[in-house]
Structure 1
């Protein structure tokens, strides 16, 4: 490797920068050297060819036997899932509301459902 990359300060500086960046990463995946796209392809639905969405892929790559790689990875999953559920439910409620009062009522339901979802995903 030394013959290919050399021992110059430019290579060492670049290597040190990469090392420092890896130390700053807060989330840890559990798929080794396999790429996300490779895992996504392997986990696709064989009948439809549909690959897992980003939230499912995150869970697949950051858990092993149902255990999260670390708390930060689980927190990213929970916050992303919560946002997605909130957005989906909000969009559905508002789309079906036809008056201002209906929209306000829909938003009240969204807040109630969001609180419920958070209580399930992040128990105290």
Structure 2
């Protein structure tokens, strides 16, 4: 089975879109970074290094220091697909991040986004 093309996309090429989506709705880059750190365990320094290098989405999630065990609490539909039904691990991780950024842009409080 061929991998989805997003797996080979550089994380740094999509990251500005996450920031723009959040900022258009009055949210901040720092909040986006907090979400990414919560989900993956990357520190801000590690995230900066990833953004400077040619790290693709698949590597970004496969090398994540500590995927948050609470990420399984992320439920709902993203891109027309129910997250809970995504079987492929990397795609599910990507969609978790998409869902969290959507929640941020929709004005949810950070405590709810971070499943506290």
Higher-RCO chain (CA-CA 8 Å, sequence separation at least 6): 2
TM-score (norm 1): 0.23
TM-score (norm 2): 0.24
- Which structure: larger Rg? 1
